[in-house]
Amino acid sequence: MSDVADRVKKIVVDHLGVEEDKVTDNASFIDDLGADSLDTVELVMAFEEEFGIEIPDDAAETIQTFGDAVKFITDAS
Amino acid sequence: MFDLTGKNALITGASGGIGGAIATALHGAGAQVALSGTRVEPLEALARDLGERAHVLPCDLSDAEAVDALPKQAAEAMGSLDILVNNAGITRDQIFMRMSDEEWQSVLDVNLTSAMRLCRGVMRPMMKARWGRIVNISSIVGATGNAGQANYAAAKAGLVGLTKSIAYEVASRNITVNAVAPGFIATAMTDKLSDDQKGKINAQIPAARMGQPEEIAAAVLYLASPEAAYVTGSTLHVNGGMAML
C-alpha cells in the first residue's frame, strides 16, 4: 500500500473511530464508515492539512470512498 | 463567572453604541478583541480606551470580498478566532409602498448577508478547535415587525433562521450559535427619534425606559461564555418586557 494510502487511512481511522480493516478502497465514508456530512467536511480539511493541498468544494463532493480520497490526493500532490 | 481569558473575539459594528459595549464587556472578561466597522476613528478611540488585547480591523460589510477576508485577518491579528459577534446593522427606513430595491438590498446585504459570510468564514477554525461561539444581534422587530422597517425586520428575522440552522449543524462540535434580540436601546440610532416618538416608545415598554447598550452586552457575554455551552439556537430577548417571546 502506498504511503499516501497509509496516511489517509490513519486520518480516517482516527477521525471516524473505525477498525482499520473496515477502511477498504470501496468503503463509503457515509454508508460504510458511519460518517455524517459534517465528518466528510472535516476529513477533507484533515486531508488538506496533512498533504498541503487545496481540495475545492466541487472536488470534495466527488470524494465518497476511501479509494476516491487516495486517488484524488495522489493525483493532486 | 464568564471568564474569557485566552479567547479571541471578532465584533462587527464595534464603532456603534451596542457594538462598543459588547467589545468592552468581552474585553473586560479577559478576551482579546478585534474591532470591526466602517468608521476608523471611533474604532481606534475604543481600542485606545481598552488598551492591550484590542485590534482595529476596518471593514465595509457591503463589500463581499472584504467580508470574506475579515475572519482570516482577525485570526492573524489575534492568533485564533473563538467568538464571532455579528452586530453591525444599518437602517434605511421607508414605508413599504415606496421602498426601493436599493433600500431593500443594502439593508439585506449588510445586516444579513455579511453575517452569513462571516459565519461561514469562522466555521473552519471553530470546527478544528472543537469550540466556538457565534452571537448574532437580531432585533425585536425581527419578531414583531415594524412599520417602515420591512427591510430591517426581514433581515433581522432572517438572522434568527440563519442562527438556528447553523446551530443544528455544528452543535456536536461544541460550537454554539445564538441570537440576541434587543428592544429599544439608547444609541445613536434611537437618538434620531423625536422626544414625542421616544415618549410613545417608552409607553409601550413595561420597564418604562429604553435599554442601555451594556444590557445587551451582558447577554452577549453570557452566550459567549463557557457557562452557556448548552444554549444553542436560541434567541435571547432583551427588551424590558416590550415583547414577551
What is the tens place of the pLDDT at every residue in B60-69?
A: 999 999 999 9
Phi-psi map region of B58: left, alpha, beta (phi>0 left; psi -120 to 50 alpha) = beta
Contact A41 B127 (CB under 8 A): yes
CA distance B133 to chain A (A): 18
DSSP string, chain B: ----TT-EEEETTTTSHHHHHHHHHHHHTT-EEEEEES-HHHHHHHHHHH-TTEEEEE--TT-HHHHHHHHHHHHHHHS---EEEE---------GGG--HHHHHHHHIIIIIHHHHHHHHHHHHHHHHT-EEEEEE--HHHHH--TT-HHHHHHHHHHHHHHHHHHHHHGGGTEEEEEEEE-SB-SHHHHTS-HHHHHHHHHT-TT-SPBPHHHHHHHHHHHHSGGGTT--S-EEEESTTSS--
Is B87 annotated among the ligand-binding residues? yes
Q: Name every residue whose Cβ is closer than 8 Å to that of residue B45 and which is 6 or more positions away in sequence.
A: none
Give residue B126's pLDDT.
95
Which residues of A are tagged catalytic?
36
Q: Which residue of B has its CA nearest to A37?
A: B169
Residue A1 has pLDDT above 60, yes or no: no
Sheet holding B54-58, edge to edge: B54-58, B32-37, B8-11, B83-86, B132-137, B175-182, B235-238
Can you tell me the distance from the alpha carbon of B237 to that of B180, in angstroms, rounded to the nearest whole number?
A: 6
- Which candidate in A15, A38, A43, A54 is best for mutational testing of the B interface (most B CBs within 10 A)? A38
- Read off the pLDDT of each residue in B206-222 and give the average, rounded to a whole number: 97
Q: Which amino acid is at B122?
A: V
What structural domains and CATH numbers belong to chain B?
Answer: 8-238 (3.40.50.720)
Of A38, A42, A45, the CB nearest to B169: A38
- List pLDDT tens digits, range B11-27: 999 999 999 999 999 99
Q: State percent of chain B over pLDDT 70.
A: 100
- List pLDDT tens digits, range B82-92: 999 999 999 99
Contact A45 B124 (CB under 8 A): yes
- List pLDDT tens digits, range B157-191: 999 999 999 999 999 999 999 999 999 999 876 78
Q: Which residue of A has its CA nearest to B171?
A: A38
Task: Tell me the C-alpha to C-alpha distance, in Å, between residue B17 and each of B22, B26, B186.
Answer: 9, 15, 8
Give residue A77's pLDDT.
80
The reply to whether B170 touches chain A by the CB within 8 Å rule is yes
- List pLDDT tens digits, range A11-28: 999 999 999 999 999 999
Asked whether the ipTM of the predicted complex exceeds the cut of 0.95, the reply is no
Chain A residue numbers touching B169 (CB-CB < 8 A): 38
Contact B173 A38 (CB under 8 A): yes
Can you tell me the distance from the alpha carbon of B166 to that of B150, in angstroms, rounded to the nearest whole number?
A: 24
Q: Which residue of B has its CA nearest to A49?
A: B128
List chain A domain ranges: 2-76
Q: Which residue of B has its CA nearest to A44?
A: B124
Residue B240 has pLDDT above 60, yes or no: yes
Give residue B190's pLDDT.
77
CA-nearest of B46, B69, B99, B34 to B213 is: B46
Can you tell me the distance from the alpha carbon of B20 to that of B158, in angstroms, rounded to the nearest whole number?
A: 24
Task: Tell me the C-alpha to C-alpha distance, in Å, between residue A53 and each of A22, A74, A75, B113.
Answer: 26, 11, 11, 29
SS (H, E, C) chain A: CCHHHHHHHHHHHHHHCCCHHHCCCCCECCCCCCCCHHHHHHHHHHHHHHHCCCCCHHHHCCCCEHHHHHHHHHHHC
Contact A45 B128 (CB under 8 A): yes
The reply to whether B127 touches chain A by the CB within 8 Å rule is yes
Q: Name every residue whose Cβ is closer than 8 Å to that of residue B49 and which is 6 or more positions away in sequence.
A: B24
The reply to whether B164 touches chain A by the CB within 8 Å rule is no
Q: Which CATH superfamily is domain A2-76 in?
A: ACP-like (1.10.1200.10)
Contact A42 B127 (CB under 8 A): yes
Q: Buried (b) or exposed (e) across B116-139, using 16+ Cβ within 10 A?
A: bbbbebbbbbbbeeebbbbbbbbb
The reply to whether B130 touches chain A by the CB within 8 Å rule is no
Asked if B176 contacts B228 with a C-beta cutoff of 8 angstroms, the reply is yes
Chain B residue numbers touching A45 (CB-CB < 8 A): 124, 127-128
Q: Buried (b) or exposed (e) across B15-35, using 16+ Cβ within 10 A?
A: bbbbbbbbbbbbbebebbbbb
